[in-house]
């Protein structure tokens, strides 16, 4: 059986989304989501809040940027990615959600896009430069697009042997 890296969350944005562009003009949106978890502690219910950073790429990032405002409730389907870097000689890392599908929920922000669903623009780490700019330099970047609604052909798509 293959490994699965899939996450689904419903939460509220903790800040307005940021939109940046790579030197090649590819859009990268980023925002943070708070997800409440309720658990029982003795006789009382206690709310715990978890915060997650989310990245969205391509046309979806450009389209959704105006609707992703602080307090807006969203449903996110995507995968987990571990970013790693070195700071002051110390290795650092953090887990980020790469959104493949974002759905706007509720009417909190006053936008008319409530209930709309957007598929992510896809993410390929090998093609993603690490330089950001405030405006795109090219009008039509050519990156592979991933349709989050596509299905796989079943178990025949996976190799029989474990690769390790």
Contact 53, 94 (CB under 8 A): yes
Whole-angstrom CA distances from 35 to 27, 48, 130, 158 are: 25, 8, 28, 34
Q: What is the pTM of this model?
A: 0.64
Question: Domains in the chain: how many in total?
Answer: 1
Residue 2 lies in a domain: no
143 DSSP assignment: -
Reference 32, options 4, 74, 89; nearest CA is 74
Residue 86 lies in a domain: yes
> What pLDDT does residue 1 have?
85
- The per-residue pLDDT for range 54-96, each reduced to its tens digit, is 999 999 999 999 999 999 999 999 999 999 999 999 999 999 9
3-class DSSP assignment, residue 102: strand
Contact 126, 110 (CB under 8 A): no
Q: What is the CATH number of the domain that holds 138?
A: 2.40.50.140
Domain limits for position 70: 7-157
Contact 103, 67 (CB under 8 A): no
3-class DSSP assignment, residue 123: coil
Residue 163 lies in a domain: no
**Higher pLDDT among residues 59 and 129, named by residue:** 59
């Amino acid at each position: 059986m293959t490994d699965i890296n899939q996450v689904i969350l419903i939460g509220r944005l903790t800040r307005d989304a940021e939109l940046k562009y790579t030197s090649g003009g590819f859009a990268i949106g980023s925002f943070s989501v708070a997800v409440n978890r309720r658990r029982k502690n003795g006789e009382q219910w206690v709310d715990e809040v978890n915060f997650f950073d989310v990245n969205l790429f391509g046309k979806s990032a450009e389209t959704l940027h105006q609707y992703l405002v602080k307090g807006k409730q969203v449903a996110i389907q995507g995968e987990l990615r571990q970013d790693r870097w070195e700071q002051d000689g110390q290795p650092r890392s953090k887990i980020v959600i790469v959104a493949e599908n974002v759905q706007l929920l509720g009417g909190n922000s006053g936008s008319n896009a409530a209930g709309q669903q957007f598929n992510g623009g896809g993410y390929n780490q090998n093609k993603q430069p690490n330089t950001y700019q405030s405006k795109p330099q090219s009008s039509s970047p050519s990156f592979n697009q991933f349709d989050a609604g596509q299905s796989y052909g079943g178990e025949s798509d996976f190799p029989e042997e474990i690769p390790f």
